[in-house]
Structure 1
Amino acid sequence: MAPDSQSIDGLIQQITTSNNLEALAHTLRTPGASGRDVREFILASSLSSGQDPLSVLDIRNNTLGVMYILSARLHMYFNAQSGVQRPLWATVVQFCDNFDPEQARLAPERMIMLAKSLTRYALDQGNLKLAIPLLYSLATRLPITPSTLTPIHPILLLTALQTRHITPEICILLVENPIDDLFMFTGVYSEDNLSYNDNLFYHYLGGIILTKMGNYAAALDYFETALTAPSTHNSPPAGLQLEALKKLRLVQCIALGGPQALPKYTSPVLMRIFKASPYQHLINAFPGSPHPKDRGEGSSSGNHRLRLLVNKDRELYLSECNLGLVDLLVAEAPKWIIKRLTETYVTLGLAEIGKYIGIDDEQQVRALVLNMIESKTILATISDSGIVTFHDAPGTVDISVEDIRPLLGALPTGIGLQKVSVPILLEAMQRQSAHLAQLDMETGRSKEFISKAIKTSGNSGMGGPGPGFGAGGTFPDEDEYPTPGMYAIDREDTMMFG
């Protein structure tokens, strides 16, 4: 007689004796004539002997059955179904740490159902943080690769943000495993499948977490992914995408000094809404913005305008949970003002810089400039008298240090090859130019060279000598020009530069 699938005893017998996991998954998934609610109640009940069915199942070998029973019991318990015994927290932890991923993939909707109950159970335990390592295990072990997005991923990130407990594992997951695949499946309960909003939510939350951790480059990628996600069935862009655009622009100013070009496929609807918002005026007033009229002119006027705009709409930024980013933007603005000053001035006093950035305390200005020098944001030196000298970035060449040595000749006393200044290099180049010009004049006066040149052109067989050096004395067409080095004079004292 076949085991009864309409009782918990019959289901446990099938779970422990079945050799066909796919058939077992079909049996557990199919509610039969009794309906879904009755099947859930059966899965959540105790054995006829009063024994807990989880006590007779092995988590690793019977992952499929344990997953169904755990998810059913938690679902029924939190939906106020009397008589349902809540599983022990330790049992849930053991399952999340030791389940067999291959069996779990036969019924992914049950794993997602379990994940949705974990946060409620952790709250019931008095500590929502307890759910984070369990959700991380489910999100990374259920799919074949950690770069596959599941419906569990946004639950994990939301829980981390709600508890302000961002673990190193979550940061590594976001940075080293950007999403490149979607975990899609077909099942009885379509509401548990991956949705369009899951993708938006995950990348939006990922951008927030990475911003909080100071990884602005990765955060911008996440915000941009959420912003440019294509809508479904020609529907308008989601409100979450507008929020992603706001944070994207703020982070661009903080990290890059101003707004950057967006992909061409960014929704024009979103762009129009953003341009009509206070955020656009705030971005335009930032020192690195390409809108000088909005930035203002004169000492500290741009930074002053930025503060006025923030104070004007502070309540809006607070209500939209962007005030922290806006305040950080204001704090970073002086650095980008100083960065712009390096493009115009060679030297400036600390007091003058303070006027531009709106800081009267010279020591505070000195600390800010020193911080920028240490972080290599600018190349500069500060004298004892408070004069800041800005330096250009050193050029790069394709020759080694030893290649330069013969060009420099005798260096002044006390100057090493590693400390050669730009004027010394320019002087060396001028000497080489003069040397090459002298060689050219000597070659032009050489009777031997002139007679050989005339003889070569006269014996070309394609016409008499002419004023040029091409066939028949004509100048060559573009494709007839000699290859580089073809007419080079083979002399030891001649130096060729590529």
Structure 2
Amino acid sequence: MEAMQSLVTNIQGLSSSGDISHLHVLLKQAQESLYAESTRLLPVLDQLDPATHSLGYLYILEACSSGLISKEQASTLVLPIARFINSCVAEQIRLQPDKFISVVTSPMTSFNAIAVEAYKKHILVSLIHNWNFCTSLPKYTSSVCQRNLKNYCQPYIELAHCYVSGKIVHLEAMVDRHKEKYENDNNLGLVKQVLSSQYKRNIQRLTQTYLTLSLQDIANSVQLNSAKEAEMHVLQMIEDGQIFATINQKDGMVRFLEDPEQYKTCHMIEHIDSSIQRIMALSRKLTAIDENISTDPLFLSKTGRERQRFDFDDYDGVPQKFNI
């Protein structure tokens, strides 16, 4: 557990210093070991604050619920999940929008508030981070969730539809209409980030059409108030690696560039290796789950009954009326 304690120390230190990008890299690298220690991670959550260490808390919480868990363990996880959903910080959790969907798609026999709140945050974080959102739920989502979830999240689903249209005026009107609801859900901060990301999404779409464009034209196209605001957004997007461009300060022209990545730097090799390791960990996890299911007595008895119902050895190969 020394490695785990070291990870906790990094989570605490990097979260406090605001170096979330570095922390995100470390957590992705540690994901396999987190899954391996999933049954012993619950006490680790007591060392973290879901408000201060949101990203690390999310990774460990997801690992805790990743394996086969008993009803008692599931009951124990309810409180940490509820604490996290109510306290997590938008600036950190926006880096991992897909983590919330695992809460929504987890097996459930009765509808619960945790799934509702997780889905709301999943919508908002997906819009901020991915600039898009698909309202259809995965097929393996429980039927009770499929039937009820969208009814409780309608203002958020409407926000997502409005966001995809790309019209900032309509999006602002939607936010004003449901502002009280978002505020009561403690999601107004995330909603404001959705508004900001709409400008970025619209700027990014301009790069698909134009090679050069003035800052004033960008401001007009994405409905910003001034060329200065457009410049601030473009600079931030360049810094975040969301677009590749240069700004000529003399004439206020922006030149959009191709991705300069040649995929041969040490950083990129580490990134690719990290992705491969995550895929391998997922493969091992799926294999383990498949082995557990294939040896489960209930599963075997059910498949045995199904096989008996459809055992083709019980039927003649040729219908009787065609016998010669």
TM class, shorter-length? 0.5 to 0.7
How far the C-alpha of 1:259 sits from its partner, in A, is 0.8
Hey, what's the Cα distance between the residues in 1 that align with 2:218 and 2:144?
Answer: 41
Partner residue, 2:157: 280
Partner residue, 1:307: 172
Partner residue, 2:286: none
Hey, what's the Cα distance between the residues in 1 that align with 2:208 and 2:226?
Answer: 24
CA gap 1:201/1:230 in 2 versus in 1, 3 angstroms: farther
Give unpaired runs (5+ residues) of structure 2: 1-35, 265-324
Hey, what's the Cα distance between the residues in 2 that align with 1:153 and 1:237?
Answer: 28
Count residues with an aligned counterpart.
223
Amino acid aligned to 2:102: T
1:241 aligns with 2:136: no
How far the C-alpha of 1:208 sits from its partner, in A, is 6.2
1:122-271 → structure 2 map (5 Å cutoff) = 145=37, 147-148=39-40, 150=42, 160=49, 164=51, 166=52, 172=56, 174-175=58-59, 178-179=63-64, 180-181=66-67, 194=72, 196-203=74-81, 205-206=83-84, 211-218=89-96, 220-221=98-99, 223-231=100-108, 235-260=109-134, 262-267=137-142, 269-271=144-146
1:373 aligns with 2:207: no
1:324 aligns with 2:183: no
Hey, what's the Cα distance between the residues in 2 that align with 1:194 and 1:156?
Answer: 21
How far the C-alpha of 1:148 sits from its partner, in A, is 3.3
Hey, what's the Cα distance between the residues in 1 that align with 2:55 and 2:244?
Answer: 32
CA gap 1:341/1:275 in 2 versus in 1, 3 angstroms: farther
Hey, what's the Cα distance between the residues in 2 that align with 1:149 and 1:209?
Answer: 20
Hey, what's the Cα distance between the residues in 1 that align with 2:57 and 2:119?
Answer: 23
Hey, what's the Cα distance between the residues in 1 that align with 2:95 and 2:176?
Answer: 28
How far the C-alpha of 1:319 sits from its partner, in A, is 1.6
How far the C-alpha of 1:330 sits from its partner, in A, is 1.1
CA gap 1:147/1:174 in 2 versus in 1, 3 angstroms: farther
Hey, what's the Cα distance between the residues in 2 that align with 1:322 and 1:212?
Answer: 9
Larger Rg: 1
Amino acid aligned to 2:116: L
1:387 aligns with 2:253: yes
Amino acid aligned to 1:314: K
How far the C-alpha of 1:347 sits from its partner, in A, is 2.1
SS in 1 for 2:224: coil
How far the C-alpha of 1:266 sits from its partner, in A, is 2.1
TM-score by length of 2: 0.58
SS in 1 for 2:230: helix
Is the CA contact 1:379–1:391 (under 8 Å) kept in the aligned structure 2? yes
How far the C-alpha of 1:182 sits from its partner, in A, is 6.9
CA gap 1:371/1:263 in 2 versus in 1, 3 angstroms: same
Q: Report 1 or 2 for greater relative contact order, CA contacts < 8 Å, sequence distance ≥ 6.
A: 2
| Identity across the alignment (%) | 27
Hey, what's the Cα distance between the residues in 2 that align with 1:173 and 1:315?
Answer: 28
SS in 2 for 1:285: helix
How far the C-alpha of 1:195 sits from its partner, in A, is 5.3
Hey, what's the Cα distance between the residues in 2 that align with 1:183 and 1:156?
Answer: 22
Hey, what's the Cα distance between the residues in 2 that align with 1:378 and 1:333?
Answer: 14
Amino acid aligned to 1:387: M
Is the CA contact 1:175–1:218 (under 8 Å) kept in the aligned structure 2? no
CA gap 1:216/1:183 in 2 versus in 1, 3 angstroms: same
Is the CA contact 1:211–1:219 (under 8 Å) kept in the aligned structure 2? no
CA gap 1:268/1:353 in 2 versus in 1, 3 angstroms: farther
1:114-129 → structure 2 map (5 Å cutoff) = none
CA gap 1:268/1:385 in 2 versus in 1, 3 angstroms: farther
How far the C-alpha of 1:175 sits from its partner, in A, is 3.2
How far the C-alpha of 1:345 sits from its partner, in A, is 2.1
How far the C-alpha of 1:307 sits from its partner, in A, is 0.5
| Bigger share in helix | 2
**Aligned Cα root-mean-square deviation (Å):** 3.4
Amino acid aligned to 2:106: A
1:303-360 alpha-carbon deviations (Å, 9 max, x no partner): 1110000000111111222212111211222111111111222222211211233222
Is the CA contact 2:38–2:67 (under 8 Å) kept in the aligned structure 1? no
Is the CA contact 1:226–1:244 (under 8 Å) kept in the aligned structure 2? yes
Is the CA contact 1:337–1:357 (under 8 Å) kept in the aligned structure 2? yes
